[in-house]
Structure 1
Amino acid sequence: MALLQQEIILEPSASYPFHVLATHYSYRGNPFGNSEDALTLILFHALGVHKETWEVTVSRLFDLCTSTSSQIKIRDVFSIESPNHGRSAELNADQIAKQAVDNWPGEYAKATQRFLTADLSLGGSRVDFKSRNLVGICHSLGAAALFLAAQADPTLPFRFMIAFEPGVTDKDNEQRIRANFAASAWAWLREDVFRSRKSARKHLEENIMYATWDPRCLDLFVKYALIDHPAAKHPPPYTFRGVVTALSRDHHARSYMSDDLTFRGVAAYTSLTQKLPVHLIWGAVDEFANDDLRDFMALHGRTPASVSKIEEAGHMVVQQQPDACADQILSILLLETKRMSRL
């Protein structure tokens, strides 16, 4: 199966000041590429990574779908990037500098709405997302973006959602307060400048926060989450040809303060679970989420369609166990396809 990918760039508009980037995935010979009843998967990444971080999972999912007798129909996949992450951060650098840094999770939701309602052309054909069968798949920060975007525009036809380690909860939840304190401290302290991508790769694979990642996901991080250092443009002898993380430490640390990662995000999630199936998937290793926090996501009117765990993974489950994530997604696609066929 030959994976096909294409980067899509929406230019800023009068109503939205940022470039919005997404990667479109399909595969050569996809029999469902024009099928109106097939599924279109919309992917949302975690804080600190990039839109291509799902690539290993997407590739395996396509492999599974082409080899399974169940004939799950996936039309295509779009992975949308937060405007201050990955290559988006490079294109938006000037505009980012003019913005406050407090609410980028909410900005990700706005970027999502911009993308899914844009006049988008792909391969000579207009993409009308409102006529598609959308499946939202998110991880951590991406959960807030998905839930808020879907709540803000109910006309977006999401049939169901899958959330890996969703990064939303009640503002006063003690476990989340402790986790956010630790995460923001780490974000302020993390190394963000490297002499080269090669040296960055070596540093990251020895760092406890990245050492558990699948090597393929780490390679993607080095390729897409790092950008040329701004000093590369300085004249000699002041040129520095190193790399820096696309997401700044400032934006990274202060994202944990966003109300969209706390009560606004969980309010949107609560509302959505009463309207459509939302499946939760956790890493079995307690990091950000312990059993109390996981239980919180299924109490007080919150009714997830299913709750499951992936072994040998913590909060960064998509980067640690990308193949297992694909397997879990497939099982939910099978379940939901059967459900929709009965409607």
Structure 2
Amino acid sequence: MNLRREHIDLEPSLSYPFHVLATHYNFEGNPYSDSDDALTLILFHALGVHKETWEVTIASIFNLCSSGASQAKIRDILSIESPNHGRSSEINANEIARQAVDNWPREYAKAAQRFLTARPLIGGSRVDLKTRKLVGICHSLGAAALFLAAQADPTIPFKFMIAFEPGVTDKDNSQRIRANFAASAWAWLRPDVFRSRKAARKALERDMMYATWDPRCLDLFVEHALIAHPAAKHQAPFTFPGVITALSRDHHARSFMSDDLTFHGVEAYAAMTQRIPVYLVWGAVDEFANDDLRDFMTKPGRTPASVSKIEDAGHMVIQQQPEKCAEEILSILLIESKRMARL
């Protein structure tokens, strides 16, 4: 299976100041590339990573489809990046400096909404994504962005959604308050500057947070979530040829304080469950979400289509078990394809 990538840059407009970057994925010989009946998957990443973080899962999905091991009909996949993550943080650097730092979960939603409604240039043609059968797939912070974007514009035609470890809950939930406090403290303390990408790889594989990741996902992080250090532009002898995390510690830590990441996100989630099927997938290892918090997501008014768990994974389930996540996604796609065929 030959994975094809196309990098898309939706430029700023008079109404939206940021570049919105996405990567379009497909594979050579996909029989559903031009099928109006096939699904287009829209991916939203977690806090602190980047749009390419899904690539191991994407490759596994396409491998299973191309080998005949799955009957899911997938037209293509698009992964949208938050404007302050990954390569987006470099291209948007000047505008990011002019913006407040407390509203980035909502900003990710706005970026996704703009991308999905602006007819982006894909494969040399303007594509009206509103004519597609869209499936929203998200992880952690990406869940808030997906739910908020869909709530803000109900004309975006999501047929159903799959949320891995969604980072949303009630404002006063004590478990989430403790978890977000711990996560914010970690974000302020996490390593963010390295002498080189090679040094970063060695340091991160020894770090408790990243040591549990699939090595391929960690390689993608080193490639896409780290950017040249600003001091690399300084004249000798003060230049520093190192790298820094694309997402700043400040933006990272403050995102955990955002009401959009928590109760605004859960309000939007509740609204989605009343409109379309929303599937919840948790890591079996309790980290940010214990059973009480997971039960909160299924209370009256918040009715997911199903709740499942991925073994040997915690909150960073996409990075820890990318191939199991691919299998879970394909299983849900088949269930939903059968349901939609009956309508």
TM-score where L is the length of structure 2 = 0.99
1:124 and 1:202, CA in 2 relative to 1: closer, same or farther beyond 3 A? Answer: same
1:320 and 1:69, CA in 2 relative to 1: closer, same or farther beyond 3 A? Answer: closer
Separation in 1 of the partners of 2:285 and 2:108?
27
Residue-by-residue CA offset, 1:264-321 (whole Å, 9 max, x unaligned): 1000000110110000000000000000000000003100000000000000000000
Separation in 1 of the partners of 2:321 and 2:309?
11
Separation in 1 of the partners of 2:69 and 2:282?
28
User: Retained in 1: the 8 A contact 2:136–2:162?
Assistant: yes
> What is the number of equivalent residue pairs in this alignment?
343
- After TM superposition, the structure 1 = structure 2 runs for residues 229-240 of structure 1, keeping only pairs within 5 Å, are 229-240=229-240
Aligned to 2:23, the other structure's residue is in SS state strand
Separation in 2 of the partners of 1:284 and 1:148?
26
Separation in 2 of the partners of 1:177 and 1:72?
39
Separation in 1 of the partners of 2:276 and 2:31?
28
Q: How much does 1:262 deviate?
A: 1.2
- Answering whether residue 187 of structure 2 is matched by residue 183 of structure 1, we say no
- Answering whether residue 276 of structure 2 is matched by residue 279 of structure 1, we say no
Q: Tell me, which stretches of 5 or more residues in structure 1 are unaligned?
A: none
Which residue identity is paired with 1:73? K
Q: Which residue of 2 aligns with 1:104?
A: 104
Separation in 1 of the partners of 2:29 and 2:68?
16
Residue-by-residue CA offset, 1:147-183 (whole Å, 9 max, x unaligned): 0000000000000000000000000000000000100
Separation in 2 of the partners of 1:123 and 1:112?
19
Separation in 2 of the partners of 1:86 and 1:37?
33
Residue-by-residue CA offset, 1:169-203 (whole Å, 9 max, x unaligned): 00000000000010000000011000000000000
Residue-by-residue CA offset, 1:122-142 (whole Å, 9 max, x unaligned): 223221111000000000000
Separation in 1 of the partners of 2:122 and 2:80?
15
Aligned to 1:78, the other structure's residue is in SS state strand
Separation in 1 of the partners of 2:187 and 2:69?
45
Q: How much does 1:30 deviate?
A: 1.0
Separation in 2 of the partners of 1:270 and 1:159?
16
Aligned to 1:9, the other structure's residue is in SS state strand
- After TM superposition, the structure 1 = structure 2 runs for residues 1-343 of structure 1, keeping only pairs within 5 Å, are 1-68=1-68, 71-343=71-343
TM-score where L is the length of structure 1 = 0.99
User: Retained in 1: the 8 A contact 2:285–2:313?
Assistant: yes
Separation in 2 of the partners of 1:178 and 1:271?
26
Which residue identity is paired with 1:333? L
Aligned to 1:314, the other structure's residue is in SS state coil
Which residue identity is paired with 2:208? I
Separation in 1 of the partners of 2:178 and 2:168?
14
Separation in 2 of the partners of 1:106 and 1:58?
26
Identical positions, percent = 77
Q: How much does 1:121 deviate?
A: 2.2
Separation in 2 of the partners of 1:274 and 1:49?
30
Per mean C-alpha deviation after superposition, the further-off stretch among 60-69 and 264-273 is 60-69
